[in-house]
Amino acid sequence: MVKVSVVIPVYNAEDFIEESLDCILNQTLDDLEVICVDDGSEDSSLEILNEIASRDSRVKVFHQENQGGGAARNNALRHVTGEYLYFMDADDRVETDAFDEFYALSTKHDLDFLIFKATNYAEDTGEYFETPYYNMDRIRDFARGKVFSFEDLGDLIFNISVTPWCKFYNTKFVLESGAQFLEGSIFHDNQFFWEVLFNAERMYFIDKSYYIRRRHSASSTGAGDLRYINIINVVNNIIKLFVKYDQIDRFRQILYNKKVLWITTRFFEIRDEFKDDFYRAMKDDFSSEGDDFIGCLDEKNRFLFNAVLSSKTARHFDLMCKNYDLKKENARLKNQKKLPNFLKYKLKKHVK
């Protein structure tokens, strides 16, 4: 048994796959295997993988017809032999000392998985930048060098990035959890994350960025195309997992607000030519919710929910939301004008 299995789904990544594999094969911990699943690439990705595998026996290459990243990762899970498991995207990089540190901490604390931060790299500008989503500051403030369980986290479960490449897993734990990636969806990470999290008893957070996420126009989750409609099914599957693990009563209010937020956010991000299709799917889904759902919503999400149901078209809904935001901003400015001068000064100083 090797110490670490690295899973990399590959689709049309000929420009990046060699660089990504280099940072894995040059890890200071070299007792590893790399399982690459080519997901029906139409470029030279498969040829590149086979050539690298011919030079390094640690690289194992599998091929499947195009089914998406979720299916590719599930396929790879059938072949892993490592004590620990790491998922990586084919266009990203990880620090070359990462696995040494991950393995040492995981064995020392007998972890189900550990969590760490990531840095973004903008392909178009060459800039590196951080985001709150991958910094997970609230988790850092809570964890501070301690082992914790799902039960310990409480509402903080919603502050962990769902991405698998920000985690280092115990392979036996993952396989016994039965967690699988959602196939046929660009948001396939979510189902795997929640299933694993609900089973986790020993987690650990490292306040350090090891992963470099490449952001470019070819990314499936940044494309803004019709696949964004998948988010409706994904969110409903997440709610079903909360029911499965008897967590729905504990988190119902947060979860129902998250549903409205997650779905409407993708509506505003999808390209204009697909908004009508998204709107119809969103309206059909919201129409199935009852009074118990609506009663859990805060002011903004209740407005969004009702606006979806009462509007006639995607354009109408969009305008309703813009009008709502404008009214809120005007009310904020009006209230600010009513403040005493010394409070206006404090507020202005704080904003700066």
- List the domains of the chain with CATH numbers: 4-222 (3.90.550.10), 226-337 (no CATH)
Per-residue pLDDT at 124: 85
What are the contacts of 146-155 at 24+ separation with CB within 8 A? 146/204, 147/109, 147/111, 147/202, 147/203, 147/204, 148/202, 148/203, 148/204, 149/200, 149/201, 149/202, 149/203, 150/197, 150/198, 150/199, 150/200, 150/201, 150/203, 155/251, 155/254
Predicted pLDDT at 334: 76
What pLDDT does residue 218 have?
A: 52
Per-residue pLDDT of the chain (352 residues; tens, 9 = 90+): 999 999 999 999 999 999 999 999 999 999 999 999 999 999 999 999 999 999 999 999 999 999 999 999 999 999 999 999 999 999 999 999 999 999 999 999 999 999 999 999 998 898 999 999 999 999 999 998 899 999 999 999 999 999 999 999 999 999 999 999 999 999 999 999 999 999 999 999 999 999 999 986 555 455 689 999 999 999 999 999 999 999 999 999 999 999 999 999 999 999 999 999 999 999 999 999 999 999 999 999 999 999 999 999 999 999 999 999 888 887 877 776 665 665 455 445 544 4
DSSP string of 175-235? HHHT--PPTT-TTTHHHHHHHHHHH-S-EEEEEEEEEEEEE-TT-GGGS-SGGGGHHHHHH
- Which pLDDT does position 352 carry in this prediction? 42
Q: Quick one: pLDDT at residue 339?
A: 56
**pTM for the whole structure:** 0.90
6 burial (CB, 10 Å; 0-12 / 13-18 / 19+) is: buried
How many angstroms separate the CA atoms of 97 and 90, rounded? 19
Strand partners, 148: 203
Terminal Cα-to-Cα distance of the chain (whole angstroms): 56
